[in-house]
Amino acid sequence: MTFTLRQHAFAALLGVVTALASGFGMFYLWDEWTILALVAATFYFIGGLRFMPWETRLRKVFSTAVFIGLSVATIVWLKRNSLL
């Protein structure tokens, strides 16, 4: 199955927007609601929360971008608080 340039651009835009939104959202939770962020990150990283299965290419991009956003926000918070 071949994809057009427009489909690739949309997938890239979806990935960037999703990673930024999930990253900023999680970063806010880490700063303001640390316990809630800890619970959310724990559930996500152990597999209790999965947003979408990887059946299509856009779902894979969305799921990967959420993972990247959560991971980056968590690592930044850990470094900022001298825990890493």
Is 54 part of any domain?
A: yes
Could you tell me if residue 4 is inside a domain? Answer: no
Residue 12 belongs to a domain: no
CA angle 62-66-69, nearest 5°?
135
Alpha-carbon distance 65 to 19, whole Å? 4
The answer to the question of residue 72 being in a domain is yes
User: Looking at the domain assignment, is residue 29 inside a domain?
Assistant: yes
Give me the pLDDT at residue 22, please: 93
Residue 5 within a domain: no
Distance in angstroms (rounded) separating the CA atoms of residues 16 and 62: 9
pTM of the model: 0.81
Nearest of 62, 60, 57 to residue 2 by alpha carbon: 57
Q: What pLDDT digit, counting tens, does each position of 24-83 carry?
A: 999 999 999 999 999 988 888 887 566 556 778 888 888 889 889 999 999 999 999 888
How many domains would you assign to the chain?
1
- Note down the domain range covering 58: 22-80
d(CA 81, CA 84): 8
pLDDT for 59 equals 82
